Structures are given as C-alpha cells and as structure tokens.
Chain A
Amino acid sequence: MVNLIMNGQEISVEEGTTVLEAARFYGMEIPTLCYDEGLSPYGACRLCLVEIGPPERARLFSACTYPAREGIIVRTNTRRVIKARKVIIELYLATCPSSKTIQDLASWYDVTEVRFPVKNEECILCGLCVRVCEEQMQAKAIGFIDRGTNRYIGTPFDRQSEECRLCGACMYICPVCQARCQGPQEEEVLCNACLNLSPPCLEKHDQALCYLDPCAACELDPASLKKPEVDS
C-alpha cells in the first residue's frame, strides 16, 4: 500500500495505482477527456492536471499517468490548476465547439468566454479510438499519423484497412462526436446553458433535469414527461 496526501487528506492506495484512480476512488473530482477506465492512460488532453509536490516546488502533472508514490502531496483544485483547466477548456471550445462533452465541461468549470477564432475541427486527437482499437478490439487498424498540427488519425498509408472489422468501437468511445444540445445559443461558440443554478430547463419543465444522463432537457417536449402520481 502506498500512502499519500491528497487535498490535505491522508489516503492509501495499492501500489501501481495512478493519482487519477486514487482520486476517483476517494470521490475527488478530476475532469478528463482522453481517459477511459478500461484502456491504458495517455495523458494527451491535459485536462486532468493536478499540482504535485511540496507547494513551493510543485508542478502540474497529468493525474492519469502519474504513479501514486509514497509521500507525494497532491492538490487537485488549486488556483493554478483551475486557471490552467479553464484556459485549456477555452482552447477546446475554440477547436471543437460542436461537442456536447466540451460544452458541458465549459459549463461545469465556469468558462464564460472564448477569445480565440473558432476552428470547427472534429477530432481532438485524444487517442481513445486508437487505444480501443488496439487494446480492446485487438485490431490495431488505426493510428496517429504525422506530427504537430498536421497530426491526424488514420489507417497506415491512408489505405482501406484489412484489419478493421467495422465494429464501431472507435465511434462509441469518441468523447467529442456526441452532438451538442439544440438548446439556447446553439449557433454560438459557447452554449453555457446549464452553467448557472437556474438552468433554462426550468423555463419549460417543472424541475431541473440534471439527473438525466446525458441531459437533453432543452430538446424535450414538456408534455412528454409525465408528472409522477402523488399519493395523498
């Protein structure tokens, strides 16, 4: 067992656990985009950054790839971490505003402006599709090609793949190809609809519908939700 300090609390996890796994086990929230429990961690999205080390010399590391070690001091919500998170989410919004996952992150982490020109790309190169194809489906049909801003996901030499079994796991696991809600401000870069505590669903429904997963309250017809029978 490895003992470490997370957010001021002494916690204990098994050897080989990552800081992200430790945090999730203890109920401390860290957002992720390129992480999936069933696949190896990659550390590319930079959303799970946490501050690790004694406060005078702490640095930001991706929690999903950092191994929990004896005595480390981890802080998941310092000013520095939240500053970085917000700018990173802002960059994601400017890259891929059509993604529901990213819009939800923006609302959840209070990102209220996008100061970069919008790119409207559809891939954030998180690598989940590559990893699910390789590790879960054992097909290795797709991978990363090229470097820097020219990087993209494709098959070797862009040829039709003989390894691909058309299983659709890559589409299933993609965190950004889920279309965003058709709610208010649907043409804007930033939706921010469910940002504040009085989300617009209350304009149409009797109760806030954040328990819906995924929440699609903006699209639901109020009549389609039956009021529950009240026993007197």
Chain B
Amino acid sequence: MLHLPPKIKSREDYYNYQEKALEEYGQSKPYIAVCGDTGCSIWGSKNIYDSLALHLQKKGLEQEVGLKYTGCLGLCENGPLAIVCPQEIFYQKVEPGDIEEIVDKTVLRGEIIDRLIYEDPVNRKKYTYARDLPFYQKQLRTLLKANWNLEPTSIDNYIAFGGYSALIKALTAMTPEAVVEEIKSSRLRGRGGAGFHTWIKWDECQQKSGRKFIICNADEGDPGAFMDRSLLEGNPHAVLEGLIIGGYATGAEEGIVYIRAEYPTAVEKIKLAINRAEELGLIGENILGSGFNFFVYLNIGAGAFVCGETSALVASVDGRVGEPAQKPPHLVKHGYLGRPTVVNNVESLANVPVIIREGAEKYCQIGTEKSSGTKIFSLVGKVNNTGLVEVPLGITLREIIYDIGGGIKEGKQFKAVQTGGPSGGCIPASLLDLPTDFEDLSAAGSMMGSGGMIVMDEDTCMVDIARYYLQFLTEESCGCCFTCREGVSRLLEIVEDISCGHGSLQQLELIKELGEVVKDSTLCGLGQTAPNPVLSTLTHFEEEYRAHIEQKRCPAGVCRELVVYNIDEQVCNGCGLCLKNCPAEAIRGKKNEPHYILQDKCDKCGICITLCRVQALTKS
C-alpha cells in the first residue's frame, strides 16, 4: 500500500496518487500475468501463481519481476494461462512443473518454451505472441485487455493505468447533464439483453427529485454466460467507477450492487473494491469536494433466474419474493421503495468510464450505426477456442465462430449457434454472415441477449435444445401469471412428447399458436421470451422435428427414447468390456462370442460406445 494521505480530495490529489501508483505498477519491469478467473482457477492456476511467487522469492527476484493474479485473459479453453509481459509471450495449459522454466528461461533469458505455445488445431501453426494468435486478431478487447496488467484486488494498480480518471473528469469538469449528453452521443445500449438506450433511463431519472437509486444488475443467470462474472472478478473497479458516474449523472446518491449468490469470488472482489474506493474517498460524502455524495451497498441474490428481471430484482432487494411487477409504472418512476430507480447491467456500467475518458465520438467509431461499441461474448460449445471474446458490434457470426473460435471441434459440421440464452433463439448455418448487432439478431428470431453464444454441431439435437431451455424456464418461472406457468410447461410437455416419438404434426402448429400467445400475454420478460428457443428451432429446423414425429427418429442421435444402440455381430470380439460396465446390465453374451443388447433394459447412456475398442457399437 502506498504511503499517501488516505483520501483523494481533489483533481491534484488524484494525479499525484496516480504518479506514485505508476512507479509501483508501471510497465517498465517484466511481469507474469497468471489468469485467476474461476475458469482457470479450477484448473489449478492459484497453485501456479503461488509456486511462481515462491520461486521468484527463492531466486531473489521479487523486486525485478512482477507477478499478477489477474482476471480472465480470454482463451479459457486452454487454461491455465500465463502471459509473460511485456513481450506478451502466451503460455497455455501451464502446469506446476513448468514454472521454473518459465522464470529461468523465458523471463530471464527470453527463451520460448515450445511445449507451452499455442498451436492452432486446424492449420497446426504455432503462435508465440498473444497479438498473433488468431483468437485475438479480430477481437477488440477494450474492456477485457485491462485484465492483462491488472491485479483486480488492487485499486492502486487500477489508478496507475488511468482508473477513476473518468470519475475525476465527470465530477470536476462536467455537469450531470453533460455526462448524460456524452452517454447519449455514444449511443450506448444496455448490455444486459434488452439493448435499451442507457441515456434515456439516466435522463429521466435525473429529472426527478428526491431520493433516487442506481442498481448494478449482476444477477447474470443465462446458462453458459459468464461475461459479467469475469468483469467483476477481473476488473471490479471499472464497474464501480461506472456505477458512481451513473449516480452522479442521475442524481442517485445510493448505489446498490445486486449480485447472484452463485458468484462467491465475484462477491469477494466487488466487496473489496467497494472498501478500497471508500478508503480513498472515491465513495462517500462530498466526493472530490464536488458536493456529490454516493454510497454503495451490496445485495446478494438467493438463487432465482427471474431476479435478473429488473422489477423482480427490486422486490428481492426489498426483501420480498422476487416476482416481477407490471410496467407501467416503470422503475424510473416507481422503483425501489417507490423511488425513481435506474437498473444497469455490469457490462453497460463498465463501458461508461471508457466513454467518459475517451469521448463519445471515439467510442462511436467502433460498432455500427445502431449498435455502437464492443460486446463481450462467452463463446462456448463445440468450438475449438472457447472463452471470453470481446468484439466490435457488427462483426459477423462467421468471423466469431471460425476466425476467433477456430471453427468446430474435431472438424465436425456447424449446425447452429444459440444466442441470448433462454430468451434467445438458434441461428442456422444459412445465417452465419449475419452481423452481430441488436437489430439483425432480433430479426433472425433470436436476440443479442447478455452475450452467451453457444455453438452446436451435427451431434446436437435441436428438439433436445428446445427441451432443455423450456425445462430451465419452467423451473425458473416465478409462477405468478398463468400463461407463463402453464403455457411454458405445456410447451415443454409437447416438446418432450416429440422427443420421445409420441408427437403429432398438429402439435407443431400448436407450438406456434401457444408460443405466440405466451409471448403476447405474459407479464414479464421471462415469459415473453420463453417461447423463443422452441419457436426459432421450429422455424429453422422443422425437418428435424418432423423426423422425430413422422419417422420416430432423432437425426443427431441424442433423444434417448429414439436412439437404439446396437452391437455389430461381425465386429464384436466378445471381450465383455461393455457387459461388465453397463450400469443397466442390459448387455448379454458369452466370452469371445458376439454380445447383444437387451433393448428394453438399455438406458441409452452411451458408456458402452466409449469403451468398445473395436468400434462394434453403433447408435441409430
């Protein structure tokens, strides 16, 4: 910790503080960034970090070589990641046994350790430096690049590289109206899924008087989405800075961070960030002598996807059951405790300091006319390079999946990409050249959503995908309004029937009719978008539904009721491996004689196929 006056009370104080922080955290000395995000830490990156620290100490190098336990570095597929800076030598799948070489060879002598270098799975080329990796080429890591030289727990590190300068600028050189105007010029749209223009909410709130609130929605509930989690774990101060600036612009003196309980690491990090900011006087009374007070409270969720819906969120903050309320009245008129309330997504808030610092005009140069700036996507599923990507809006889906994602795993065929989580839809191969922006994705029957992007290949059954999301939504629906509760569960019932081979063609029409009514008649966004996965898969993959109904066949070989496992008598050598391991005891056969499966006992778990060494097992 630096030994300076504990509070930053003016512009000058800030810049003095920044100078000193730069001395400590400046880029002149080499350092190793070890990714500490949840994804890599599960692979044991903390152990790698600790071992590196110990080794540096042993060698007496703690002063000359920096070590940072950072937020997400991007290529989650190949973690644990360690990047040696300033050259940005990209090491992946690092193991504890590698750390000595990393220090002795790479850091001290600039030698590259070949086995740790990224190799492209398609063209087999090796890439040493991060900037050369195809994964990073088409990205524009405006928000996430900061992670590479940031210790998320250190406010000094954040300030050293310009953190909180946007807050200083806003409070000392801009009026609240000017801040709103800047956000308006930037055309920033909500990153939580709805894509609503942020400035409109802020403007309306600013014009109201009395007690007001601004809430950061960190209840990221979409399965497969972890953008907000990584922002909060990797750079919590950026989100906090956005929240404080938002408070200044809207006139809300109380900020609330509502974060889901399932993100314990992120909860720790944001708590720490709030404390540190308070210590320095960047949160509290009369910040920088501007007369503006701002206090931040943390509120933790309790396991409900529906609490990501803003009015349910407010009910939850209030200690009531998380059930959405009808709008109108909108939250900005009647929100938390009946007061004007603005709710913003984590990523939207993280964009705010960027806009204020660099100006709206520069921000608008990225993205498209209607969708400016960058968006973080969690690219997961059957791609080679899964991880967290940040791209300028307007880039095509093909570029994300093939150029950045490295194409489909194991050379299989692309089938669909699911965007927008349970509220979104599936986009088929014919629409791969669609630009990724709010309008085009909605027009295709999906939506941008909060950023989850799940890639599917030929082994994915679209009926099963529809079933999965409907299952998720029936469990997460608050259950108040009839159309959502009954309607979504009836849709699930129909899709399950189809998946088991008991469907009829009339049911396809029924899905469309019921889906449209549920979308039209439900009170909140959950129900209004719940039919999207099934409707979009039905639109783009009707043949697959028909195969399930008319031929009682699952083309992808997924739907258990319709899949039949067979042992080829000609190939089977009677080794008995499948028989011994079948959990349903469905395989019979004498040693060294061809085995066979008792179909009525078979559970379709697929263990036998994975064990068979002669590939005698097939599924049809």
- Chain A residues with a Cβ under 8 A of chain B: 42-46, 49, 59-62, 65-67, 69, 80, 83-84, 87-88, 91-92, 94-95, 115-117, 124-125, 144, 146-151
Whether A91 pairs with B486 at a CB distance below 8 angstroms is yes
**How many angstroms from the CA of A95 to the CA of B328 in the assembled complex?**
30
Tell which of B475, B482, B513 touches A46, judged by Cβ atoms closer than 8 Å.
B482
B-chain residues with CB within 8 Å of residue A42 when the two chains form the complex: 480
B298 at interface, CB cutoff 8 A: no
Kindly specify which of B207-215, B289-297, B514-522, B571-579 makes contact with the partner chain.
B514-522
Whether B520 pairs with A91 at a CB distance below 8 angstroms is no
B-chain residues with CB within 8 Å of residue A115 when the two chains form the complex: 506, 510
B185 at interface, CB cutoff 8 A: no
A-chain residues with CB within 8 Å of residue B450 when the two chains form the complex: none
Kindly specify which of B64-72, B120-128, B224-232, B487-495 makes contact with the partner chain.
B487-495
Whether B479 pairs with A66 at a CB distance below 8 angstroms is no
B-chain residues with CB within 8 Å of residue A46 when the two chains form the complex: 481-483, 521-523
Nearest-Cβ distance from residue B261 to partner chain A, whole angstroms: 16
B-chain residues with CB within 8 Å of residue A60 when the two chains form the complex: 520-521
Nearest-Cβ distance from residue A66 to partner chain B, whole angstroms: 7
B485 at interface, CB cutoff 8 A: yes
Tell which of B306, B478, B480, B483 touches A91, judged by Cβ atoms closer than 8 Å.
B483
Tell which of A61, A83, A91, A125 touches B490, judged by Cβ atoms closer than 8 Å.
A91
Tell which of A66, A83, A125, A149 touches B489, judged by Cβ atoms closer than 8 Å.
A149
B-chain residues with CB within 8 Å of residue A88 when the two chains form the complex: 482-483, 517, 521
B63 at interface, CB cutoff 8 A: no
Interface centre among B329, B476, B485, B490 (most CB of A within 10 A): B485
Whether A80 pairs with B479 at a CB distance below 8 angstroms is no
Nearest-Cβ distance from residue A103 to partner chain B, whole angstroms: 17
**How many angstroms from the CA of A124 to the CA of B481 in the assembled complex?**
10
Q: Top 8 closest A-B pairs, CB basis?
A: A151-B479, A87-B517, A148-B477, A148-B479, A84-B521, A46-B483, A65-B326, A91-B486
Minimal Cβ-Cβ distance residue in B for A127: B480
B-chain residues with CB within 8 Å of residue A87 when the two chains form the complex: 513-514, 517
B304 at interface, CB cutoff 8 A: yes
Tell which of A43, A69, A94, A151 touches B326, judged by Cβ atoms closer than 8 Å.
A43
- Decide yes or no: A44 and B477 within 8 Å by CB, A115-B510, A149-B489 being known contacts: no
Residues of B289-330 whose CB lies within 8 A of A:
304, 306, 321, 326, 328-329
Whether B326 pairs with A125 at a CB distance below 8 angstroms is no
Of the A-B pairs whose beta carbons lie under 8 Å apart in the complex, a sample of 12, sorted by A's number, is A42-B480, A44-B480, A45-B481, A46-B522, A65-B326, A84-B517, A87-B513, A116-B490, A125-B480, A148-B475, A149-B479, A149-B485
Nearest-Cβ distance from residue A118 to partner chain B, whole angstroms: 12
Nearest-Cβ distance from residue B372 to partner chain A, whole angstroms: 24
**How many angstroms from the CA of A42 to the CA of B481 in the assembled complex?**
9
**How many angstroms from the CA of A148 to the CA of B326 in the assembled complex?**
18
**How many angstroms from the CA of A20 to the CA of B485 in the assembled complex?**
23
A-chain residues with CB within 8 Å of residue B217 when the two chains form the complex: none
B198 at interface, CB cutoff 8 A: no
B351 at interface, CB cutoff 8 A: no
B345 at interface, CB cutoff 8 A: no
B-chain residues with CB within 8 Å of residue A45 when the two chains form the complex: 481-482
Q: How many A-B pairs fall under 8 Å by CB?
A: 85
Residues of B454-499 whose CB lies within 8 A of A:
474-483, 485-487, 489-490, 493
Minimal Cβ-Cβ distance residue in B for A64: B326
A-chain residues with CB within 8 Å of residue B329 when the two chains form the complex: 67
**How many angstroms from the CA of A43 to the CA of B527 in the assembled complex?**
14
Q: Is the interface of A mostly helix, strand, loop or mixed?
A: mixed
Whether B481 pairs with A43 at a CB distance below 8 angstroms is yes
Whether A147 pairs with B489 at a CB distance below 8 angstroms is no
Residues of B159-212 whose CB lies within 8 A of A:
none
Q: Is the interface of B mostly helix, strand, loop or mixed?
A: helix
B-chain residues with CB within 8 Å of residue A59 when the two chains form the complex: 520
Whether B485 pairs with A49 at a CB distance below 8 angstroms is no
Whether B493 pairs with A92 at a CB distance below 8 angstroms is no
**How many angstroms from the CA of A65 to the CA of B311 in the assembled complex?**
15
**How many angstroms from the CA of A160 to the CA of B447 in the assembled complex?**
48
**How many angstroms from the CA of A60 to the CA of B519 in the assembled complex?**
10
Nearest-Cβ distance from residue A183 to partner chain B, whole angstroms: 26
Nearest-Cβ distance from residue B327 to partner chain A, whole angstroms: 9
Interface centre among B328, B478, B487, B517 (most CB of A within 10 A): B517
B-chain residues with CB within 8 Å of residue A117 when the two chains form the complex: 493
**How many angstroms from the CA of A205 to the CA of B485 in the assembled complex?**
42
Nearest-Cβ distance from residue A8 to partner chain B, whole angstroms: 22
Minimal Cβ-Cβ distance residue in A for B476: A148
B-chain residues with CB within 8 Å of residue A146 when the two chains form the complex: 479
Whether B474 pairs with A149 at a CB distance below 8 angstroms is yes
B-chain residues with CB within 8 Å of residue A83 when the two chains form the complex: 517
Interface centre among B321, B482, B514 (most CB of A within 10 A): B482
Nearest-Cβ distance from residue B273 to partner chain A, whole angstroms: 32
- Decide yes or no: A125 and B485 within 8 Å by CB, A49-B521, A84-B520 being known contacts: yes
Minimal Cβ-Cβ distance residue in B for A65: B326
**How many angstroms from the CA of A49 to the CA of B479 in the assembled complex?**
18
Minimal Cβ-Cβ distance residue in A for B528: A59
- Proximity bits, B502-535, A CB within 8 Å = 1, else 0: 0000100010011001001111000000000000
Whether A62 pairs with B326 at a CB distance below 8 angstroms is yes
**How many angstroms from the CA of A125 to the CA of B483 in the assembled complex?**
12
Nearest-Cβ distance from residue A53 to partner chain B, whole angstroms: 11
Can you name 8 extra interface pairs (CB under 8 A) apart from A61-B326, A88-B483, A146-B479? A60-B520, A84-B517, A87-B514, A91-B483, A95-B486, A115-B510, A117-B493, A125-B480
**How many angstroms from the CA of A170 to the CA of B486 in the assembled complex?**
23
**How many angstroms from the CA of A45 to the CA of B521 in the assembled complex?**
10
A-chain residues with CB within 8 Å of residue B326 when the two chains form the complex: 43, 61-62, 65-66
B-chain residues with CB within 8 Å of residue A150 when the two chains form the complex: 479
Nearest-Cβ distance from residue A65 to partner chain B, whole angstroms: 5
B-chain residues with CB within 8 Å of residue A148 when the two chains form the complex: 474-479, 485, 489
A-chain residues with CB within 8 Å of residue B478 when the two chains form the complex: 147-148
Nearest-Cβ distance from residue A84 to partner chain B, whole angstroms: 5
Whether A67 pairs with B328 at a CB distance below 8 angstroms is yes
Whether A91 pairs with B482 at a CB distance below 8 angstroms is yes
**How many angstroms from the CA of A147 to the CA of B305 in the assembled complex?**
11
Minimal Cβ-Cβ distance residue in A for B507: A115
**How many angstroms from the CA of A210 to the CA of B484 in the assembled complex?**
34
**How many angstroms from the CA of A59 to the CA of B545 in the assembled complex?**
31
Whether A91 pairs with B328 at a CB distance below 8 angstroms is no
Nearest-Cβ distance from residue B492 to partner chain A, whole angstroms: 9
A-chain residues with CB within 8 Å of residue B506 when the two chains form the complex: 115
Minimal Cβ-Cβ distance residue in B for A116: B490
Minimal Cβ-Cβ distance residue in B for A150: B479
A-chain residues with CB within 8 Å of residue B490 when the two chains form the complex: 91, 94, 116
